[in-house]
Structure 1
């Protein structure tokens, strides 16, 4: 099992049996670093547990490794236990791999696994210390140890199998890096578009300010226009009144001229008559 950091905030590993690559994203580079350290720590603990399990199997299967009193060495503690050959039977370690948990909860899962193993190891140590007085109790604790050892061996088997898929991980890493580059390029393009939109928004704001100014000037012009229209109407009304007065004056003047013409005609006739009278006398 190999955890690979593919970027500052992302890591991945592969499950070749399921033909699947799992990945985890982190909120910061420090969280990714801590996860990678824990991952390596659990992997090393699994390797050590597997070695101890193999040592126990070798001790149980070789008579020369037993003590003079018939004790058997525990893989987790140096204490010995008295018992018969049947009581020192080698635990059956299965090689069937369990499905590897994945997702955002993998760290908690492994911590729980390690905590469970530590708790079972403490129980097993206490049972081995008391095994000289109670062999039956030691058998019960040994059965619990066998179950935990089998589970741990299954984890180790899957980790070893996954480690052989380095090429698959590298291939997926290359593809992910290429995808990241494409996304960064697209992000850069989007940022340029956003800058262009910001410039357009600024221009729109300036145009809006100009429009508001022109609207205010237009409103003022309309107000002045209404005032001028009112003044023009008043002038037209006054002009119309003046025209009516002028027309009346002209009518009166024409009437006066007509009367004056009549009087002039009468005076002319009177003059002519007077002239005739003067000539006749």
Structure 2
């Protein structure tokens, strides 16, 4: 029998004769190391006990590791002697007993660990010959080897309990491992979904930032266009001045016409006076025409500026509404 450490908390118990391999699990590496040390001690003690017995002599019927069990071992031991030893002193062995293999005690240890084997024992006390049972009953009390055999039985019981506990722990750990794997899969899928959502939110935030930057630039342009409003105010002032000047010129023209009429009515017209008045009248007419043209130009410019301002005002209102909608979307995205 051999025991191999496969990992920090697991090992394999192999029995070549029975062609069996057991997997053992422990709660910690220290317990596994203690088990290995105890296993080596039991193995060495078994080997030493087998070496003390002469080859070909044994007090018990050989029991193979394939059908051995703690029950058959105890039954055989109880039938052969009152103290229950597995091996009798070499000097008192009857010659009619069958030979036992050197590894029968080691097979007994493995049979204890396999505990619960359904195979029936190869032999039992009721199957033994009457003469052999009588000779065994007359054999003397067990020698010093009985102490080591009792220790081996005690160790076998402890190993059996440890094997049952490790098997139960292995099943529990398998269930826990399966649960942890399922939780890991769910957490991995949730993490991947969260990562995808974060990437999508980052893209949306980047697009919102670009749109916000574009709207800021447009807002700056509109702020710069407010200078056109000031120019419109200046044009209005200039238009009012031109209107006032036109009215003044019209009053002067009217006064000149009146003066001309009075001069003509007074019959004191003179050619020079008439020419001067005509020239002055022509100048006044030219001034009026120029003022009217300037007034028309200013009116057209004002109308054009008004249309531009209306367009800019509409665009500004639209952009402000878009900014408000984007602000609400960004706030909603950040809250979710």
TM-score (norm 1): 0.43
TM-score normalized by the length of structure 2 = 0.37
Q: Whose RCO is larger (CA < 8 A, sep 6+)? A: 1
- Larger radius of gyration, structure 1 or 2? 2
